[in-house]
Structure 1
């Protein structure tokens, strides 16, 4: 019985019960619902069959609900309230004033994404935003599975048809402790770093992939120390003297300002990629998500960490597009 009740219960049946309870009459209930009396009687009969208990009793004062009927009526009231709340939410979403947005970002982007969310929330305080942080591979899988409305990352993934909106430049550098002997060198080649221990991100990280491509192209095999899943851990390990690291300049802006880290003056660096906000072309975006996507496309660059003056250039940087 319970299984049928869950599966076959309808809002029409609940509304027929509520109307009879209000008017104590099937005829009056039918008038309220703009139905015929037999139609209301059929709805009530089907509902009572699903419940497996009598829901209505005839009295001298009209039709009254039994204890079981009052229990079902309470369900009706909760359902009507939920429907009203949903209708209000849909109206607000249509006007871009409220709703939910599910966005993702690669872990390197967490140094500016919260500020962008704050900027958007000041304009749209009633829109709830769920932010999921992961490495590049995890974020791609979330996009592939339609879990996200959009994501902030670098190079767009292969094999997924995406709408791509540029946010701004994303430089990558090699960092070292302030007192590192190579920090005083004005010109370094990648080959000069062959004897250094590199701390690097975990497999699946976009930063790691970029570093591996950089050294492979130069024909240099770096000495790899520890692999870590956190930029914060890598920064602290470099500060502690455990090695040097290839990393996003946006993750170390504060440490460079405070002179706890320095960038090595390596020919061809920084490598400049770009930040994009990406959404699947076949993903239907509700107005709140569309509003945030447009906000990030238009104003996202202003939330990027400032690296001007903190990175030394030896020659024009490499710029990596959407390869």
Structure 2
């Protein structure tokens, strides 16, 4: 059975379709003698006849009919194989895993959905985690491309900008500084701050923000594990928080949160599309990276022009 090849399957189908060795040989660009030898060899391999030789031509035996049915299945599988390989090779199909830091969940799903509309045959997995978890997945090869705000320095990376990423200080609308302008960080002394867990990019930025000697008197508040929890806690009046403007666009627009006007804010960072520079990208990963760089900024949330901020500084 190991001697059976796609060439034999092609032979079976050609003879069954043509009904004669001579016509099938012409279709296959073979001499009748060569085709006869091929059929004979195949029948010897199986140990039984596949065609009855009749005055009117070649007719499949029952075994031949079963072989033809199996051949059709194999031929279809070969076509699917060819389609899949070509799709993977062009980036139109195959499998791709994209990672994103948790803050990116406010725009990444729409970006990915738009990309998939251009490649409906692609099987794309989307993994969200904090910065440390996303970096580890990129380092270990679990993901090919990541959306991140602060690329790591201990991994060889190719880093391309996606769009501006501002951070603002949010408070409940009834906060004592709701109407204040040009607050200094010293004015925030005594405020309860809410901040993300260790390992998140927002936490690192927060630590840089409070690290200035002018705000050493700030009362640190609760450490929370998600931006959603932080937003709810701020709306409940438990404190203020430095947070990505992209995570609070909807709440600011509806008046459930405000952005305090503090000198030095917003802090402007950027979103990046990153991939390992020491590993070859698959065509699908390269296509996603290029799409994110070219089209990604339009999917970033837009913060309303309120809260005491100058819209031009936000870059959105």
TM class by shorter chain equals 0.7 to 0.9
Q: 1:244: Cα distance to partner?
A: 1.6
Q: 1:15: Cα distance to partner?
A: 6.4
**Cα deviations across residues 22-78 of structure 1 (Å, max 9, x unaligned)?**
99xxxx9xx99x99x9xx99xx99xxxxxxxxx86799x8xx999xxx9xx97x987
Matched, 1:89 2:113: no
Q: Which shows bigger deviation, 208-217 or 305-314?
A: 305-314
Q: Give the match's secondary structure for 2:109.
A: helix
1:232 & 1:130 partners in 2: Cα distance? 23
**Cα deviations across residues 192-227 of structure 1 (Å, max 9, x unaligned)?**
323222222121100011101111134525412242
1:224 & 1:80 partners in 2: Cα distance? 66
Unpaired runs of 5+ residues, structure 1, are: 1-8, 46-54
For the pair shown, which has the larger CA radius of gyration, 1 or 2?
2
Matched, 1:239 2:235: yes
Task: Output the TM-score relative to the length of structure 2.
Answer: 0.74
Q: 1:317: Cα distance to partner?
A: 6.4
1:239 & 1:101 partners in 2: Cα distance? 38
**Cα deviations across residues 152-193 of structure 1 (Å, max 9, x unaligned)?**
111211121111111111000111111111222223222332
Task: Output the TM-score relative to the length of structure 1.
Answer: 0.73
Aligned residue number for residue 249 of structure 1 = 245
Task: Identify which of 288, 291, 299 aligns with 1:303.
Answer: 299
- Cα RMSD between the aligned structures? 4.0
| Structure 1 moving runs of 4+ over 6 Å | 13-23, 76-80, 316-319
Structure 2 CA distance for partners of 1:239 and 1:139, relative to 1, 3 Å = same
Aligned residue number for residue 106 of structure 2 = 111
Unpaired runs of 5+ residues, structure 2, are: 16-20, 53-60
Q: Give the match's secondary structure for 1:181.
A: coil
Aligned residue number for residue 286 of structure 2 = 290
Structure 2 CA distance for partners of 1:65 and 1:142, relative to 1, 3 Å = farther
How do 1:5-154 and structure 2 match up within 5 A? 82-154=77-149
Q: Give the match's secondary structure for 2:126.
A: strand
Structure 2 CA distance for partners of 1:80 and 1:240, relative to 1, 3 Å = farther
Count residues with an aligned counterpart. Answer: 292
Q: 1:310: Cα distance to partner?
A: 3.5
1:270 & 1:177 partners in 2: Cα distance? 17
